[in-house]
Structure 1
Amino acid sequence: MELEAKLAELAKVVKDHREVLLTEEAAKNALVMPFLAALGYNPFNPSEVVPEFTCDVGTKKGEKVDYAVCSAGKVMMLVECKPASVELSINHASQLFRYFTTTDTRVAVLTNGVVYKFFSDIDTPNKMDDRPFFTFQLDAIRKQDIRTLERFTKAAFDIDKIVQEAGNLKMQTLVYRELQKEFQEPSDEFVRMIASRVSSARITAAVKENFQALIVASVSALIRDRVNERLTSALSASNPVEEVPQAEAAPTEEGEIITTEDEISGFNIVRAIGARQVDPKRIVIRDAKSYCAILLDDNNRKTIARMHFNSPTARYFGSFVGKDETKHPILDPIEIYQHQDLILGRISELDGG
């Protein structure tokens, strides 16, 4: 709980002062050093957190990485920092790649103070992977992130367990991607396996095409039902009297607009995501003829998102930055989870203003 509380304080710094954290030094002082302190390291002890860590690499002399976190004279983690305004990419990790092979470390962190990307050498020993095995965002903290970060604290740091966890997290990501591909576009092998379990019909081209559509629809329905069950349970526990608010529908020539089940599902998902930053009661739904809006504080000047679900052939989830709306095509409300960073960023923008 202590780690969670300290990270929550840093998240508030990001929310309140992000616009002034534009330089690398500002990100280091206001976010990265307190982050290391939250993990139990003393950033002011030069034998524990070494700033401007230098190590000659081949013909390159005197190159520096921003921090080396050490214990008993051995480097445990390397940390490379960028300004908070920078969108991190693997191109920013050149020093980490070079230093990784010349130190004892098996963990490297690339950060802009807000986003922390953790790397190891899962693919090839003593060579830093191209992809992080874990990414943490101060402006979108999840419960499972806290549990993962606890492994990196000074008191619990165990490199063997960390590397094992890194391998598991990376494999979980790969499994997730494969399942996502199967659920969106089922392969012939997957279709045949499911079809053979529920039907004795010969798998012709027409049968295969029909089962592909059935699998996609069934998976979407299964996920939607599970999400709705969990959201209904959570909302009922936190607010037993007031349930999901009814949409404030505008009248049409045909009568009152009916808020569909999918719109309610989409609203529940946005509300659950937004509950990480604000009281979920502040997030409300307001239906209209051409779209269904999700608002903060029931204020039509504080639109969090819009759901364009009325068309029978195309659906869009609208995210906002300022007054600009970006429409993202989706097949099912569950896909809104793919845009949670945009939702949380928008809520921060509206709540801060």
Structure 2
Amino acid sequence: MDLKLKLEQLHQRVVGLKDQINTEEATKNAFVMPFIQILGYDIFNPTEVIPEHICDIGTKKGEKVDYVIRKNNEPILIFECKHWKESADAHNSQLHRYYHVSKARFGVLTNGTVYNFYADLEKPNIMDEKPFLTIDIEDLKDNAIKILESFTKNEYSLENILDSAEGLKYIKAIRKEFEKEIENPSDELVKLLVNRFFDKPLTASRMATFKEYAKKALTLSINESISDRLKSALNINEKAKPESDGKAQPVTESSESKIITTDEELEAFQIVKAILREKIGAERIAPRDTQSYFGILLDDNNRKPLCRLHFNTANKYFETFANGKDAGEKKQLYSLDEIYSFRNQLHQTLENYQ
């Protein structure tokens, strides 16, 4: 079974159990140990996964780190765990101190749902302030999972991880700066862009105006790029499967031209997807736009409708299938936020197909 599928199964476990997990110890047993096991380490072998490992710090004796992972008798990972309701933030945590006296090159601070991986890229043997890798069980990213594979028992490679960690560190830093520029464009960025087409002096008032223009332009460019990619994916899905196996027939050029996928439909799809991801992987939730409605299907199968968006009229309706695929119920929507109120119906529909 591949790593992503195992992590998605752990996500379902977390969603199902976390409201019953009331202590840090229970968080470790229910969530963290299965995560370590997913990486391929034997949680029942105390020479490979060492719980409550003594980690003396100066004059402080008897300090214990929650887990030490060993490979070839050498420590490679240390884990500090918190209750799932706490933040997985290393500030003021014991992980900094444990890392300093440990021979492991990587430290993990986790609350059972978020796993922050740290290294010593800035100064040798001093843990960096910020993680180079974050695995969020409730929001799995393919690129992060790819890096996580290097931490598995069979694929562990110190050199590969360090190379990836340095790259990830700078990519995250650049991304953070970019996001800051989108939210509040700096004078430097505005000058760089505007001076390419505007040959008049940038006075203070003009700079303020162009900052607003730049913010709107950057936001609009990103939103349209996302919309275009989603619409492209929808068109591919529309053409992909024959009717014989429960999938939609290929769309002809004339019918396809009449289908207009709106930004509102795409936003509603993302809301439904977020609700359903509590139970299943995102790849099983398929959009399918038609001339009369926007459908959301399980496994891209027309026989397994999860819901339908009827947004092509003055009044908008949300159709659910909790009582069966042939017993759809429509409810009028006054805002997209109301979709969250259909959480139970969506989950029940999903259970009907299991």
Q: Structure 1 residue 181 and structure 2 residue 187: aligned?
A: no
Structure 2 counterpart of 1:351, from 340, 347, 352 = 347
Contact 1:22-1:85 within 8 A present in 2 as well: no
Aligned to 2:254: none
1:88-126 deviation digits (Å, cap 9, x = unpaired)? 3335731x2122111211211111222211111122221
**Shift in alpha-carbon separation, 1:170–1:306, aligned structure 2, 3 A:** farther
Contact 1:83 1:112 in 2 (8 A): yes
Q: Which amino acid aligns with 1:28?
A: K
Q: How does 1:33-48 map to 2 (within 5 A)?
A: 33-48=33-48
State the Cα deviation string for residues 131-159 of structure 1 (Å, max 9, x = none): 22222122222222221210111122122
Q: Could you state the TM-score of these two structures normalised by the residue count of structure 1? A: 0.73
- 8 Å CA contact retained: 2:307, 2:346: no
Contact 2:227–2:266, Cα closer than 8 Å, also in 1: yes
Give the C-alpha shift of residue 294 in structure 1.
7.8
Contact 2:147 2:161 in 1 (8 A): no
Counterpart for residue 142 of structure 1: 141
Question: Matches of 1:131 and 1:84 in 2, distance apart?
Answer: 20
Unaligned runs of 5+ in 2: 240-247, 250-259, 287-295, 297-305, 322-327
Cα separation, partners in 2 of 1:140 and 1:319, compared to 1, 3 Å:
farther
CA, structure 1 residues 26+267, in 2 after alignment: closer, same or farther (shift >3 Å)?
same
Percent sequence identity is 32
Give the stretch that moved more between structures: 262-271 or 174-183.
Answer: 262-271
Does the CA contact (< 8 Å) of 2:91 and 2:129 recur in 1? no
Name 2:66's counterpart in structure 1: 66
Measure the CA separation in 1 of the matches of 2:330 and 2:53: 51
State how far apart, in whole Å, the 2-side matches of 1:159 and 1:225 are: 40
Corresponding residue for 1:279? 285
Q: Residues 59-138 of structure 1: matches in 2 within 5 Å?
A: 59-90=59-90, 93-94=93-94, 96-138=95-137
Shift of 1:48: 1.2
Task: Provide the C-alpha distance between the structure 2 equivalents of 1:294 and 1:188, rounded to a whole number of angstroms.
Answer: 45
Between the aligned partners of 1:70 and 1:347, the Cα distance in structure 2 is 43
Residues 1:134 and 1:224: Cα distance change in structure 2 (over 3 Å): same
Could you tell me which residue of structure 1 aligns to residue 227 of structure 2? 228
In structure 2, the partner of 1:31 is 31
Question: In the alignment, is residue 4 of structure 1 matched against residue 1 of structure 2?
Answer: no
Q: Answer with 29-38 or 207-216: which moved more.
A: 207-216
Cα shift at 1:128: 1.3
- Counterpart CA distance in 1 for 2:179 and 2:77 is 33
Query: How far apart, CA to CA, are the structure 1 residues paired with 2:58 and 2:41?
Result: 30
SS in 1 for 2:179: helix
Greater Rg, structure 1 or structure 2?
2
1:144-183 mapped onto 2 (5 Å cutoff): 144-183=143-182
Structure 1 alignment gaps of length 5 or more: 243-258, 308-316, 324-345
**Residues matched between the structures, number:** 303
Asked whether the 8 Å contact 1:263–1:292 carries over to 2, the reply is: no
CA separation in 1, counterparts of 2:44 and 2:136? Answer: 24
Match of residue 267 from structure 1: 268
Partner of 1:15: 15
After TM superposition, the score normalised by the length of structure 2 is: 0.73
**CA drift at 1:69:** 0.4
Q: Cα 1:267–1:105, aligned 2, differ >3 Å: closer, same or farther?
A: same
Q: 1:201-350 residue pairs with structure 2 within 5 A?
A: 201-240=200-239, 241=248, 262-271=263-272, 273=274, 276-277=281-282, 279-280=285-286, 281=296, 282=306, 285=309, 307=336
Q: Is the 8 A contact 1:15 1:348 kept in 2?
A: no
Moved more, 291-300 or 194-203: 291-300
Shift of 1:61: 0.6
SS at 1:101 equivalent: helix
Q: 1:292 to 1:204 in 2, by over 3 A?
A: farther
SS in 2 for 1:77: strand
- Residue 250 of structure 1: aligned partner: none
Q: In 2, distance between residues paired with 1:60 and 1:111? A: 24
Aligned equivalents of 1:299, 1:99: Cα separation in 2:
56
- Mapped partners of 2:139, 2:317: distance in 1: 22
Distance 2:344 2:105 in 1: 35
